Amino acid sequence: MSKEKEPITDADALAYHAEGKPGKVAILPTKPLMTQRDLSLGYSPGVAVPCLEIAKDPLKAYDYTARGNFVAVISNGTAVLGLGNLGALASKPVMEGKAILFKRFADVDAIDIEVDTRDVDEFVNCVRLLGPSWGGINLEDIAAPECFIIESRLKECMDIPIFHDDQHGTAIITAAALINAANLTGRKLANMKVVVLGAGSAGIACLELIKRMGIRHENALLVDKQGVIYEGRTEGMNQWKSAHAVKTNKRTLEEAMQGADLFMGLAAKGAVTKEMVKSMAKNPIIFAMANPDPEITPEEVYEVRSDAIVATGRSDYPNQVNNVMGFPYIFRGALDVRASQINEEMKIAAAEAIAKLARDDVPEEVSAAYSGRKMHYGPEYIIPAPFDPRLMTTVPVAVAEAAMKTGVARRPIVDIAAYRKELAARRDPTASAMQQLFEKVRHNPQRVIFAEGEEEKIIRAAIQWRDNGYGQPILVGRTEKVKNAAAGMGVDLDGITIANAAVSPHVDAYIDHLYPRMQRKGFLWRDVARMVKNDRNIFAACMLQLGHGDALITGVTRNYTVSLDNISRVIDTKPGEFLFGITLAVVKGKTLFFSDTSVNELPESPQLAHIAVKTADLARRLGHTPRVAFLSFSTFGNPMREKAARIRDAVKALDEMQVDFEYDGEMSAAVALN
């Protein structure tokens, strides 16, 4: 559980935000605008009709506009991450990032709004007046105590969900972890002694939520920089801290930790010592959630308390308290019932739903993605993994049901089973599957050979492979050329191998492997030697074939066909298999698999059937339910042409194979995509 190498550099972060269209968000139309009729419907005069309907009934805005799936991420930049008061404009990258998390995880459209004022009245009035634009508001990175005042006042004057994620998002995930940690250690919340370090927005929100769930006021000590918050204290106090002051003789964190069952840290690195942990009760629960480094690391805890349950805010330790498990799905459920607010019951329902997921059996797609970790309910798995696809079909349902039970839902959901299916359809299975694949590779590192190792794009890819912990990158190229290119880019090649054919100790072995394959195809030994030494694709393919790498990447400087021909000279297909190409197209969240698009010019019916089976298998492994369409210029025999018989026979072949996926054909592309 050692700390991972920093996955990105400053240059990486700036390049990510600047490349292509600057920033991370854009607006895409949801209706066609191709003809004069489309223009007349979408704008004047047609747009007047929904305007009049909304004027008569404001709730019609949910039917005729994007309001029902639209959230504003709003900040004044006074508490940006751990960077402090950077101002409204400098907070924009964070708010854009939050907006894309809404879309990525819960298919909620979001836009960032930066309000350039520290004045509470100005901020509240600005947001209130803009309120009709959105179905919900996510407040972000607003300093305490102003954040408490702003959220409270907006809730009073607006009839849409207002949610300060820095407070409630952290609190909900922490509460979910607490439910399971208490369960595993046989504790009841009412009997637990709690210490919360950090009296900012997150710390106070966490304490308030767990009190609503059963923690007793007198059993919870809130600690800030000045020490324990006790009745009668005046230094550094405000009304929000005072609400949690208790009668106690304890004044320091060290004293507060003695005999405590639960520690919740939302403060700073190194704030907790091993001696403090030693003094806690049996089977202590320690949530050290300071970012980027916790108050005490899990390694330090386990050195003195092997009986502890530990959670942090970091992805390289088990039990990551990550807000992304909460806010997208909470808003999803709230929006889907057109809730007028996100109340305490909805927050608790979300926490309980997240906790239950960790107790349920973990599906294969999740456990495979996080190989190397204990993915069954226990001390190292008290909350789900952030990329668990079940969150999308679980948390929104719990939130929506709580909204309906408490009377804040304006459009109750009648068929919950159908709603779950609708939520599943909103997921982007390719994105989820790719993330799971990345996690799987991280826990089973691979040696990847980059054949065009002198190219800047390839060098950057190799660096990303290294920095993300995916394995050993190998750049094929001339040593000095590769090093000079890296120096010009301002990057280091530590941990990256350069494979130079001119000095490789394996060249003779590669030649010996290739020559018997080529000598009856018009190539002399010296021809083969020249190919191995001068052609990077052939050299890289020899490396792969002889076990000096696990995968090969090429195709930046040479076209597909040339690259494939060179590799095929070195490596054979498996018995009973043949080469074919697959193209993945992701358009507006929908993933399409096209094959064969690059290898076989006119495959016969058995080959087409084989291609269909293999492509369906890939689609399934990437999280999709495969539905295969065999394309042709004709559709189900219209027009009937002899050349389409290959396609019809491929469909018959699948009939005989009794495959486990849906298929049909022949059909035109227009029919297949309808």
List active site positions.
Answer: 43, 98
Per the CB < 8 A criterion, the answer to whether 628 and 661 are in contact is: yes
Q: Return the beta strands (E) in 370-451 as ranges.
A: 446-450
Report the side by side order of strands in the sheet with 262-265.
227-228, 220-224, 194-197, 262-265, 285-288, 309-312
Regarding beta strands 590-595 and 582-587, do their DSSP bridges make them parallel or antiparallel, or are they unpaired?
Answer: antiparallel
Q: How far apart are CA 481 and CA 77, in angstroms?
A: 45
Residues for the chain: how many in total? Answer: 674
| Helices and strands in the chain, H and E counts | 28, 18
Chain CA centroid to CA 435, Å: 7
Q: Kindly report the number of other CB atoms within 10 A of residue 513's CB atom.
A: 17
Cα dihedral angle (642, 643, 646, 651), rounded to 10 degrees? -80
Asked if residue 514 lies in contact with residue 570, where contact means CB atoms within 8 angstroms, the answer is yes
Write out 202-215 in H/E/C secondary structure.
HHHHHHHHHHHCCC
Is 393 in contact with 423 (CB distance < 8 Å)?
yes
Helices (H), 232-321: 239-242, 253-257, 274-278, 298-304
Instruction: Give the residue carrying structure tokens 């018009």.
Output: 522
Distance CA 384, CA 366 (A): 9
CB 462 within 8 A of CB 486: no
Q: Which residue has the tokens 């304890």?
A: 250
Q: Are 534 and 566 in contact (CB under 8 A)?
A: no
* 301 phi, psi to nearest 5 deg: -65, -50
Reduce the DSSP state of residue 320 to 3 states and report it: strand
Closest to 208 (Cα-Cα) out of 249, 180, 159, 167: 167
Q: Which uninterrupted H or E stretch holds 499?
A: strand 497-499
d(CA 71, CA 66): 10
Give the helix, strand, coil percentages of the chain, each rounded to 5: 45, 15, 40
CB 170 within 8 A of CB 346: no
CA Rg value for the chain: 29
Decide: 184 and 382 in contact? Cβ < 8 Å.
yes
Q: Which H/E stretch holds residue 113?
A: strand 109-114
Both structure tokens of 310: 């530990």
> 479: how many CB neighbours lie within 10 A of its CB?
14
Which of 381, 377, 257 lies closest to 310 in space, CA to CA? Answer: 381
Paired with 663 in beta bridges are 628
